[in-house]
Amino acid sequence: GEDVEQSLFLSVREGDSSVINCTYTDSSSTYLYWYKQEPGAGLQLLTYIFSNMDMKQDQRLTVLLNKKDKHLSLRIADTQTGDSAIYFCAESFMNTGFQKLVFGTGTRLLVSP
């Protein structure tokens, strides 16, 4: 079955790096994603990584994928107060001919000045 897990909270100071971790169970995942949710809003795609990649960098964001351990992480460099939000890890995999999209519990990132 599919299961995606994340820690619930992370608190950092402005300017520090933030690392949000995620574990997943389905080894047939094709893509893994990080979505950001600001208060009262829907989810916006931050970045994604294809399952045959180990790392992807996009400006302040670095995604690391350890496929053997089924572990995904998101590093935000020089974290700003505007980065405070809930971050969701998600995996996409084929199930009975349909690309399912399963989300983790979300990690609430709080950035203090």
Q: Write out the residues near other proteins by the rule CB under 8 A.
A: 4, 6, 8, 31, 33, 41-45, 48, 88, 92, 96-106
Indicate the residue type of 89.
C
Q: Measured from the CB atom, is 9 or 13 closer to other proteins?
A: 9
* Kind of pairing between the strands at 107-112 and 9-13: parallel
> Which positions ≥6 away from 106 have C-beta within 8 Å?
6, 8, 37, 86, 87, 88
Q: Measured from the CB atom, is 17 or 30 closer to other proteins?
A: 30
Q: Measured from the CB atom, is 49 or 76 closer to other proteins?
A: 49
